[in-house]
Amino acid sequence: MILDLDGPSAVGKTTLARRLFAALPGAVCVPELLATIPNPYLHWHTPEDFLEKQLWFFRNTLRRYQTAEPASGSIRLNDMGVLDVIAHTAVYPRAHGLEWEVLPRFCARVLAESGDAPLANGVVYLYAEEPVLRRRRDGDTARVRGAFDSNLLLVPRQRAFYRQLARAFPRQVLCLQAEANPDALARTVADFIPAAAGAPPLSLRALLDQAQVHFAGPDAGARAQNVIQ
């Protein structure tokens, strides 16, 4: 069972992962990408740079589902999964007023490289209102969150996208307001896990199709195929 914990910076993903790790026998916590691999794309200015940066994040995040498979019966908790990379790619230009049509090219490159790769069995998206996120950021002096304000602009669009996915894949995607008591939040996720564990892994192609329809309209999939060809 692989469970991705997604959501904006300071929303409480690491706190939730720790509680689930303590409550679920055999759980394994996997830190987010930047905690283990240096980011070579700290400076970028063009849509081409942004595309290459997002593809780097995607490739490295995708490896989580292809290596270090957990032991039978255990639960692998990913602090951020590949769906977060897809959402960031789609949302960042729009949220920052950039007229970059990056998503179709991103989807085409990803499909050409990875095909219909299986991902997590379940995804939990945590969200909170801006004052809550800022308060939690200010109270956590142990971590540097340099892109916090920039990424805060993405939250409304990301939340709408994850809610769409929760409607499309109710057994595999769960959206939760993170302002609840942390222990109650962990119990809700623990109750969600059996249904997600019994579902097939989410399909990369299906998630890319959902992203294109949500952000670019119902004919976006055909446009991506044209890019591939």
| CATH number (domain holding residue 171) | 3.40.50.300
**Domain span at 63:** 2-228
Query: How far is the C-alpha of 4 from the C-alpha of 195, rounded, in Å?
Result: 14
Residue 145, pLDDT above cutoff 90:
no
pLDDT above 50: residue 128: yes
The sheet that has 173-177: what strands, in order across it? 27-30, 75-79, 2-6, 122-127, 173-177
Which are the contacts of 171, defined by CB distance < 8 A and separation ≥ 6? 122, 195, 196, 198, 199
Q: How far apart are the C-alpha atoms of 228 and 225, rounded to whole Å?
A: 5
- 3 state DSSP class of 123: strand
What Cα–Cα distance (Å) separates residue 4 from each residue in 83, 142, 185, 189, 214? 9, 23, 15, 11, 21
Position 218 scores a pLDDT of 55
What is the model's pLDDT at position 91?
96
Instruction: Note the pLDDT of residue 70.
Output: 52
Dihedral angle computed from the Cα positions of residues 198, 204, 207 and 211, in that order, rounded to the nearest 10 degrees: 170
The pTM (predicted TM-score) of the whole model is: 0.88
Using alpha carbons, list the distances in angstroms from residue 127 to 62, 90, 148, 174: 23, 18, 14, 11
Rounded CA-CA distance 82/92 in Å is 15
Asked whether the predicted pLDDT for residue 68 surpasses 60, the reply is no
Judged against a pLDDT cut of 60, whether residue 113 lies above it is answered with yes
Only one residue has tokens 């914990």, namely 5
| pLDDT at residue 154 in the model | 94
Q: Read off the pLDDT band of 104 (50, 70, 90).
A: very high
Per the structure, the count of domains in the chain is: 1
